[in-house]
Amino acid sequence: MNTSANTLIGGRTALGNALTALVLDIFRLNGELLSTGDALVQDLGLTSARWQVLGAIARSPMPAPVAHLARAMGLTRQAVQRVVDDLRAAGFVRLETNPNHQRAMLVVMTDQGADTYRRASERQLRWVEQLASGLSPDAVETAADLVKTLRQRLSPPEASEE
């Protein structure tokens, strides 16, 4: 039996074509989210990248080294280190000695960083409520489940546990 998911179109199944279109839309959505995030917090001295790292620090149950933050964010240590260096220069974070590792310093948010993150989060709350207006909660949950499944399939086995 030949279902639409098995019909080959341009060397891919219809399902493969649909997933390719979704991936391309996710790439475009990522760019729009980054641009919108940058505009939302620019006057606070943040970029989307800085905001994202501050968020990882805020969500961490205890101060963590850059490598742990990077792993939690699904990014490389080097990319997060560059942003942490920028945040440190701006006074949003400081580095503290790590009793468990001589070289891997702990990243800690300063009072200025915590205040800036709080202000950015307040803006995000208003923005996301506007964006969500009129959307079906079931559709959003279904989309979130699909994105999580795809992310888990792309992640190394140890990183896909949540």
Q: How confident is the model at residue 88 (pLDDT cuts 50, 70, 90)?
A: very high
Residue 151 lies in a domain: yes
**Is pLDDT larger for residue 12 or for residue 25?**
25
Residue 1 lies in a domain: no
Q: What is the Cα–Cα distance from 131 to 74, expressed in whole angstroms? A: 25
Question: Tell me: the pLDDT tens digits for 105-136?
Answer: 999 999 999 999 999 999 999 999 999 999 99
pLDDT at res. 139: 97
Residue 43 lies in a domain: yes
Tokens of 160: 């896909």
pLDDT at res. 4: 55
Q: Are 53 and 46 in contact (CB under 8 A)?
A: no
CATH of the domain at 133: 1.10.10.10
pLDDT at res. 155: 84
The number of distinct structural domains making up the chain is 1
Q: How confident is the model at residue 5 (pLDDT cuts 50, 70, 90)?
A: low
Residue 2 lies in a domain: no
pLDDT at res. 159: 46
Q: Are 88 and 95 in contact (CB under 8 A)?
A: yes
Residue 50 lies in a domain: yes
Question: Tell me: the pLDDT tens digits for 138-161?
Answer: 999 999 999 999 999 998 776 444
Structural domain containing residue 51 = 9-159
Q: What is the Cα–Cα distance from 118 to 158, expressed in whole angstroms? A: 32
Q: What is the pTM of this model?
A: 0.82
Query: How much of the chain, in percent, has pLDDT values that exceed 90?
Result: 81
CA dihedral 59, 54, 133, 42 (to 10 degrees): 170
Tokens of 3: 């279902």
Instruction: Match 């920028």 to its residue by tokens.
Output: 86
